[in-house]
């Protein structure tokens, strides 16, 4: 299980970091990802293989050429940080059926 906090209500849950990359477009990854953990409490960060490129379009707006990114572990497991994240966002999950899995994970992490 891979858990992400975006600039949107609730936690987003994916089967793996690779699934999260497929679901979160690069501009959103650049601007909206606030935290990412796996179910072993390992924090992750975004690493850019190719950054997004922005350019002016006809002088009236901006266009973006999507970059490429992936997630990498950002340090050792941090159960306290994962518990805090889960406790701060208990009510909304995407997908909704992940709520029970997150509650179970929270109970398990509290015993670590």
Cα separation, 4 vs 17, in Å, equals 9
Q: Which residue has the higher pLDDT, 53 or 18?
A: 18
Model pLDDT, residue 67: 93
Number of structural domains in the chain: 1
Cα separation, 112 vs 110, in Å, equals 6
Q: Please state the pTM of the whole predicted model.
A: 0.89
* Tens-digit pLDDT profile for residues 77-100: 999 999 999 999 989 999 999 999
Q: Which residue has the tokens 């379009």?
A: 57
Domain containing residue 86: 2-110
User: What sections of the chain are H helices per DSSP?
Assistant: 17-23, 26-32, 79-88, 99-110
pLDDT at 59 over 90: no
């Amino acid at each position: 299980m891979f858990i992400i906090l975006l600039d949107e209500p609730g936690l987003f849950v994916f089967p793996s970091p690779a699934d999260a990359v497929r679901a979160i477009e690069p501009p959103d990854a650049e601007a909206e990802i606030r935290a990412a953990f796996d179910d072993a409490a390992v924090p992750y960060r975004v690493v850019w293989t190719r950054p997004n490129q922005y350019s002016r379009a006809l002088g009236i707006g901006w266009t973006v050429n999507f970059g490429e990114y992936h997630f990498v572990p950002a340090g050792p497991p941090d159960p306290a940080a994962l518990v805090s994240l889960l406790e701060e966002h208990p009510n909304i999950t995407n997908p909704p059926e992940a709520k029970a899995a997150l509650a179970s994970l929270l109970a398990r992490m509290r015993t670590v």
